[in-house]
Amino acid sequence: GHLLEKHRMTLADLESDVVLVARDLLPSDMISMNRARVKAVVTEAGGRTSHVAILARAFEIPAVLGVADALSRLRGSSLVAVDGAKGLVIGDPDAATLTRSAAARDAAAAAERELGALRDLPAETIDGLRVKVEANIEMPEEALGVLAHGADGIGLFRSEFLFLGGHVPDEEEQFHAYRSVIEAMGGRTVTIRTLDIGGDKVLPELGAQDEKNPLLGWRAIRFCLSRVDVFKTQLRAILRAAAFGETRVMFPMIATADELERALAILETAREECAAAGQQVAKSLSVGIMIEIPSAAMTSDILARKADFFSIGTNDLIQYTMAVDRGNEKVAYLHEPYHPAVLRLVQRTIESGKAAGIPVGMCGEMAADPASAIVLLGLGLDEFSMSSAAVPAVKRAIRSIGIEEARAVAK
Ligand code: PEP
Ligand code: MG
């Protein structure tokens, strides 16, 4: 662009309201686009749990992914109706469709207002078993939405999105970002996941390039254990921010106990470095891991000896159990939370956590489905974490049932 002296239009430059239709988008496109102008997103690639879908939910932008030939079929449409809940995309809707769309939108808004009444009520079964319903966030500014939707805290802060907006934040910037979220939550727990880059979240600035098998490659904790400089910088920022409120840290993509031990050792070094520099850090910090690789679920009894809590990441756990790329629309039917293999891994993880006396949560999309929430409650899950907008409906599901009935459903 510079050489040709041409201005390349980016999604940040959008000046009028649009429905964004693309073959595929990157998570970084979602971060950098002018969100106020994007009324809906439609892509040919991707699935329910790809990071573009997760970000669309976080930003409360209706989205439908995996629409075959969307570009050619919508080319020339001047108006597009999108129903993210039903997965409908209609080019040039006629008057009757427009009326129906408007009515559906109003009904959804009314249902949301009704759910708003649950905001200050606990996530508790009718016979008094209390669990936590927390929120997933990607950007610090989402903390307000977490409170508005009545979440008990933040069960997953996907910290890598701070890095994907075109600038790699240093320790001070990270510290301020984490601290702002922790303070905004006013005493509710904030669970910060350490960098999960690699895979579809490429970050060439840090050497996390596209790879031949990105989802099986140099991602998350694997990246951090070999880029100790990057990892320790983040851990110091988290330790310092944790002095300002209830904070937990968790490591993504743990596959072996050895990885967990190495990560814990680096955390200790980071703590010592902060102390040597005279920086104030949290006195104690709960350290957990994501269970999102079958090897971790199968050895969760061993991992539980070294972890303070588990959080099950079903988006990846299903991907790696079923051998299905979570972003590939052609095989999306295999990304199935109710497959017995997935349920058994979830059950095993919860049982290992219970035996070790540590809490077990879930921050994958499965936890956001009210029907699944009943099953998970019955299996003994302690903490549910999801995009903020999904919190009220899951709370309602939990408040609608007794624990014995939930156990029967699970069985
Ligand atoms: C998961 O894998 O379920 C998860 C919560 O992490 P992410 O979606 O960021 O991979
Ligand atoms: Mg994951």
How much of the chain exceeds pLDDT 70, in percent? Answer: 100
Q: How far is the CA of 57 from the centre of ligand 1 (A)?
A: 14
Write out pLDDT tens, residues 213-253.
Answer: 999 999 999 999 999 999 999 999 999 999 999 999 999 99
Return all residues near 194 (Cβ < 8 A) that are at least 6 apart: 159, 221, 224, 231, 234, 235, 238, 249, 250, 251, 252, 263
Dist. CA 18–CA 11, nearest whole Å: 10
* Closest ligand 1 atom to Cα of 312: 3
Reported as a pLDDT band with limits 50, 70 and 90, residue 201 is confident
Q: How far is the CA of 54 from the centre of ligand 1 (A)?
A: 9
**167 part of the active site:** no
- Structure pTM? 0.93
Reported as a pLDDT band with limits 50, 70 and 90, residue 281 is very high
Let me know how long the chain is.
411
Q: Is the pLDDT reported for residue 381 higher than 80?
A: yes
Q: Is the pLDDT reported for residue 207 higher than 90?
A: no
Dist. CA 287–CA 307, nearest whole Å: 6
Q: According to the model, what pLDDT value does residue 28 have?
A: 85
Q: Is the CB of 314 under 6 A from ligand 1?
A: yes
Write out pLDDT tens, residues 362-379.
Answer: 999 999 999 999 999 999
* Closest ligand 1 atom to Cα of 51: 8
* Closest ligand 1 atom to Cα of 199: 10
Write out pLDDT tens, residues 69-83.
Answer: 999 999 988 999 999
Q: How far is the CA of 155 from the centre of ligand 1 (A)?
A: 12
Q: According to the model, what pLDDT value does residue 2 have?
A: 75
Q: Is the CB of 47 under 6 A from ligand 1?
A: no
- Cβ neighbourhood burial of 273 (10 Å; 0-12, 13-18, 19+): middle
What count of Cα atoms within 13 Å lies in the side-chain half-sphere of residue 36?
3
Q: Is the CB of 347 under 6 A from ligand 1?
A: no
Unique residue bearing structure tokens 């993210």: 84
Tell me the mean pLDDT in the region 384-411. Answer: 97
Q: How far is the CA of 78 from the centre of ligand 2 (A)?
A: 37
Reported as a pLDDT band with limits 50, 70 and 90, residue 326 is very high
Mutational test site, ligand 1, from 50, 290, 321, max ligand atoms within 8 Å of CB? 290
Q: How far is the CA of 202 from the centre of ligand 2 (A)?
A: 14
Q: Taking each helix axis from N to C terminus, what angle separates 95-115 and 391-399, rounded to the nearest 10 degrees? A: 60
Q: According to the model, what pLDDT value does residue 68 have?
A: 94
Q: According to the model, what pLDDT value does residue 132 have?
A: 98
272 vs 10, more confident: 272
Q: Is the CB of 158 under 6 A from ligand 1?
A: yes
Q: Is the pLDDT reported for residue 1 higher than 80?
A: no
Q: Is the CB of 27 under 6 A from ligand 1?
A: no
Mutational test site, ligand 1, from 192, 195, 312, 316, max ligand atoms within 8 Å of CB? 316
Mutational test site, ligand 1, from 196, 320, 384, max ligand atoms within 8 Å of CB? 196
Q: According to the model, what pLDDT value does residue 205 have?
A: 87
Q: Is the pLDDT reported for residue 7 higher than 80?
A: no
Dist. CA 315–CA 154, nearest whole Å: 18
Nearest CA to ligand 1 atom 8: 315
Dist. CA 397–CA 389, nearest whole Å: 14
**176 part of the active site:** no
Q: According to the model, what pLDDT value does residue 6 have?
A: 77
Reported as a pLDDT band with limits 50, 70 and 90, residue 200 is confident
Q: Is the CB of 155 under 6 A from ligand 1?
A: no
Q: Is the CB of 259 under 6 A from ligand 1?
A: no
> What value does the mean pLDDT of the chain take?
95
Q: Is the pLDDT reported for residue 360 higher than 80?
A: yes
Dist. CA 287–CA 299, nearest whole Å: 18
Q: According to the model, what pLDDT value does residue 145 have?
A: 93
Helix, coil or strand: residue 377 = helix
